[in-house]
Amino acid sequence: MEWLRAEQWPVYIVGIGIGVLSWLAFLLSDHPLGCSTAFARTSGMIEKLFKGSKVEEKIYFKKFAPVITWEGMLVLGIVIGAFISAKISGRFQFCWVPARWQAMIGAAPWFRWLTALTGGVIMGFGARWAGGCTSGHGISGTLQLAVSSWLATICFFLGGVITAMLIARIFSV
Amino acid sequence: MLRAIHSNKNLQLLLGLLIGILFGFLLHKGGVTKYDVIIGQLLLEDFTVVKIMLSAVVTGMIGVYCLRSIGLAQLHIKPGSLGQDLTGGLIFGVGFAILGYCPGTLAGAVGRGALDALFGGIPGTLIGAWLFASAYPKLEKGILARGYFGELTLPTLLKLNSWAVIVIVCAVIIVILFAIEKAGL
């Protein structure tokens, strides 16, 4: 079982594995793999804590009810699965600032936190605007040959590459 | 049988969790729960993310369309519009590069102990999704409806048989992967 403890698997094994998981999701759950809907539903659940059930009347939450569904469990499962893999390969470690970030931008945790928060807001907003993320559109949608998903995925990377290059340029001066 | 499985709510929650655990395990084993790997992809230095995504797409496409042709699965095509996909996609990309994780790998990063993901990325993504939900009534009939094309698929667009498109798309993806490997990326 040494392979289970390996820090990393060959990338194509991982890719094929995720492809096979998508078969299971379609077969057993009649559901494509996707993550960002769970964030929208959870944000509604949090709003409900403050404002009560009138939140369910918001147009968007009528489409995506603020309750725990298959997608929410999927995202929770991802946290657990990554934790198991990290733990058994001895790679679990609390860390505020990623190594590359530290080398490129700096070691201050507050700045990394603020940037991650800001990036998260923009990404969460964009994911719901586009109707999916790198898994819902990028893998599940493209594999179904959906035009919407191919367009969105190309734009994810277009926007991502341009922004990353700008960030690298700004901080390398 | 499948219909009974699909309509059993508690079983579905459990299946979602189990599939998620496998997904998270694979994402971690692929290295894509790391900021460094994702930003390396967006800086076009390290093609791990693209390799994993494209090999998942080829595998998934063949399997899901096979399941569909024997009646064991149905497609769930997301309807789209230019205003939705181009604009939303670019906004997502900007956030993706600033954060350095996407929603799925963000959850995976939390699992390996990344505190920037847990305390920054997760609340940020929740706030962003909530802001969109709140802005939705204003966007729905405006920009989101621009250039609406609905549940369009490549076979319908190209007026080709699904399997012909699958063969073409798989061939193109495999050529791209070979080119990436050849370039040593």
Question: Which of B2, B14, B19, B67 is the best residue to mutate to test the A interface, defined by the most A CB atoms within 10 Å of its own CB?
Answer: B19
Three-point CA angle A121, A124, A128, nearest 5°: 140
- List, as one string, the DSSP characters of chain A: -HHHH-S---HHHHHHHHHHHHHHHHHHHS-----HHHHHHHHHHHHHHHHGGGGGGSHHHHHS-SS--HHHHHHHHHHHHHHHHHHHTT----BSS-HHHHHHT-S-HHHHHHHHHHHHHHHHHHHHHHT--TTIIIIIIHHTTBHHHHHHHHHHHHHHHHHHHHHHHHHH-
Given this model, what pLDDT does residue B157 score?
97
Most B-contacting residue of A83, A143, A162 (CB-CB within 10 A), to test interface = A143
Residue A59 confidence (pLDDT): 96
Token pair 């994702």 in the structure block, residue: B38
In contact, B54 and B169? CB cutoff 8 Å: no
Q: Could you give the CA distance from residue A157 to residue B25 in angstroms, rounded to a whole number?
A: 24
A74, A24 in Cβ contact below 8 A?
Answer: no
What is chain B's length? 185
Instruction: Provide the total of helices (H) and of strands (E) in chain B, helices listed first.
Output: 11, 2
Would you state the pLDDT for residue A47?
A: 96
Q: Are A40 and A65 in contact (CB under 8 A)?
A: no
- CA B21 vs CA A12, A49, A96, B17, B75: distances in Å: 19, 28, 24, 6, 23
Subunit contact A155:B88, Cβ cutoff 8 A: yes
Amino acid at A130: A
Say which DSSP state B153 is in.
B
Chain A environment of B64 (Cβ under 8 Å): 22-23, 26, 143-144
Q: What are the Cα distances from residue A5, in Å, to A12, A21, A47, B3, B109?
A: 18, 21, 40, 37, 18
ipTM here: 0.97
Structure confidence at residue B1 (pLDDT): 85
- Extract the residue ranges of chain B whose pLDDT is less than 70: none
Distance CA A22, CA A32 (A): 7
| B108 chain-A contacts, CB cut-off 8 A | 78-79, 81-82
Question: A126–B54: do the CB atoms touch at under 8 Å?
Answer: no
Q: Which amino acid is at B100?
A: G
Does residue B104 contact residue A83 with C-beta atoms inside 8 Å?
no
Strands B80-81, B148-150: pairing kind: antiparallel
- Could you list the mean pLDDT of each consecutive 10-residue stretch along chain A, which spans 173 residues? 92 98 98 96 96 94 96 98 97 97 95 98 98 97 98 98 96 80
pLDDT of residue A1: 81
